[in-house]
Chains A and B, each alone.
Chain A
């Protein structure tokens, strides 16, 4: 077991493409860290540099305090699960799992014992004498895991291990991986672009964008205090709504409503006329279903609902709106980067499943403005966050853990004067 320290690491591929740019990240011993980001942002490249399959162009990589830049993969004592499992098709499951041990010259009895142990953990005992081609996708995935856990590696590296499985199996394996990691307590770096995996598995999540770490934080920190538009838009499903808004004295004017603005924030953003407000769909509610005591703490407004989607346990309503051209353009480019394709500017509102709002209705919605985030349309920075917090996040402070602790503490300023209301 060991901690992994990534210091100002960059990767420039042979064709001159800079896939990872000056990334620093501290992964504590036993920590579960997720690398997440849109396709092509350099997640796999970073992971492969850690495991040694890709040369590090610049910077240092330390495992357990030792610089390993020049070490071959076999000398780093890490184990990796590949996206397509990379099982050895000519070997039985037993031999697949035993492979790393055989290479290390472990005695036959010991090999048998350890392979059987791993197989039992992963429920593979009855398949040990079969070949990989005779197993199902989920079983193959478990074999790949077995091969990773059979030796005492210093860390586990996963590159989208579940992306080849169907949704149900993915859910099962996710809990399986989580349980296994907790039990073994081994440092883990996990690459994914699945929201749920990122939010549920990791102690901390690093969001990458074009080879740069945008923010490292706990899942909750990312969700509640994203440092910029990119992180805000990437984390969360359905995504955060970005609405154009402007500041008029003490009030913030949005397309459908206006709400009071905290004094300090008002001062800070006074010089910017046009802002982007980020509101999560679940921060809205059908006004008819909000208790009176709670209603006072937010604002109610009327909108025309275009389409609704009823999902049984929740309900989404889509509300189109118009945005100024420049905001539209900046939102469009953001969406392109996030691989999402929104055809029109519309707001997604999550209301209770019991809500009677239907397609085409004029509905009264309620919003708790205290949880709204304000972003600068040009730089994308989150203006709601205190300065020091913002600074500590993007280039990922050399000591990652404390910064995440800060994020967890939630030093956000609330927007409304009486913004102490927080749903639990």
Chain B
């Protein structure tokens, strides 16, 4: 009995180590690349011979990158905000109201989530050019919102459904309008769900590549992922690999920080204590 349970434990640990090593390896490699200054990149070893911040200096002095970073932040934040707000209303309706076509909305939403983004690239390219949305922030925000909505709606409606009806009814009896009940009771209680949905939406917009590549052309709207591809090193003759690695680290770190920061809140289980438990 006990020997089998220790064997089990060892098995779990070994498995976990393998998976962590496997997933961390590329990240570690990029990290180490980003610190290899000059020609150190050819040093044929994992760690840099001399740690240097040269690549980061290169990236941040590059206009292409800084504007792309600004575009990325702007586009991702705005599309997250719009998407989550829309999704909140839609999910609330889906979780709370009975109306014809509810199932249809949910299945269509799911279908959209599965739709390959690449298939939309060229029609959108043509359309955006004729309506002057090409190479603008809205030109990216609109498709991002529609691609993140389904997942947000599904996540949020699951969260809303978990909130006991009584919460809202109590608020109504206490004198709240439906809007007040939604804003003061439902949304705060669904906060973990809202954060989850927001993070997922933000990641999508932050990482999205094909649309960003096709629907932008200049620094006006180009986001980081396509900008990275057109990156060159400090000089024409230098390989851009190290610089790209540094840029990748710069755009990955905030994401990791966000996750670690909000993970607590997501797990916090805000609903405990609402009812007798």
Contact = CB atoms under 8 A, between A and B. Distances in A.
A74 B189 contact: no
Given A90-B188, A90-B189, A90-B270, A85 B175 contact: no
A84 B164 CA distance: 10
A228 B175 CA distance: 41
Interface string A70-98: 00111000111010111111100000000
Interface string B138-181: 00000000000000000000000000101101111111110010
Nearest to B275: A84
Contact of A89 (B176, B177, B273): B273
B234 interface: no
A62 to B, nearest CB: 18
Contact of A80 (B170, B177, B274, B277): B170
A133 B175 contact: no
A133 B172 contact: no
A164 interface: yes
B162 to A, nearest CB: 12
Given A86-B166, A90-B189, A134 B273 contact: yes
Interface string B193-224: 00000000000000000000000000000000
Contacts of A51: 173
A189 to B, nearest CB: 13
B185 interface: yes
A318 B66 CA distance: 89
B276 interface: yes
B273 A86 contact: no
A84 B185 contact: no
Nearest to A82: B166
A30 B88 CA distance: 43
A120 interface: no
A167 interface: no
Given A99-B174, A100-B174, A103-B180, A85 B169 contact: no
B129 to A, nearest CB: 47
B174 A147 contact: yes
A137 interface: yes
A4 to B, nearest CB: 15
A53 interface: yes
A268 interface: no
A275 B192 CA distance: 64
B260 to A, nearest CB: 23
A74 B170 CA distance: 10
A297 interface: no
A174 interface: no
Given A53-B169, A82-B166, A89 B272 contact: yes
A377 to B, nearest CB: 43
B271 interface: yes
Nearest to A51: B173
A104 B170 contact: no
Contacts of A135: 273
B276 A133 contact: no
A140 interface: yes
Contact of B275 (A14, A74, A86, A151): A86
A260 interface: no
A206 B274 CA distance: 31
Nearest to A135: B273
A381 interface: no
Contacts of B273: 87, 89, 131-135, 140
Nearest to A137: B276
Contacts of A100: 174-175
A169 to B, nearest CB: 12
B172 A72 contact: yes
A111 to B, nearest CB: 13
Contacts of A90: 188-189, 191, 270
Given A86-B166, A90-B188, A132 B173 contact: no
Interface in A222-275: none
A89 B169 contact: no
Nearest to B277: A133
A331 B164 CA distance: 40
Given A72-B177, A73-B172, A100-B175, 4 more contacts: A72-B172, A82-B170, A85-B275, A87-B274
26 contacts: A52-B173, A53-B169, A72-B172, A73-B169, A73-B173, A74-B176, A79-B173, A79-B174, A80-B173, A84-B164, A85-B275, A86-B164, A86-B169, A86-B275, A87-B273, A87-B274, A88-B170, A89-B273, A90-B188, A90-B191, A90-B270, A103-B174, A103-B175, A132-B273, A133-B273, A137-B276
Sort A-B residue pairs by CB-CB distance and give the 6 closest, nearest first.
A133-B273, A86-B170, A86-B166, A84-B275, A100-B174, A132-B273
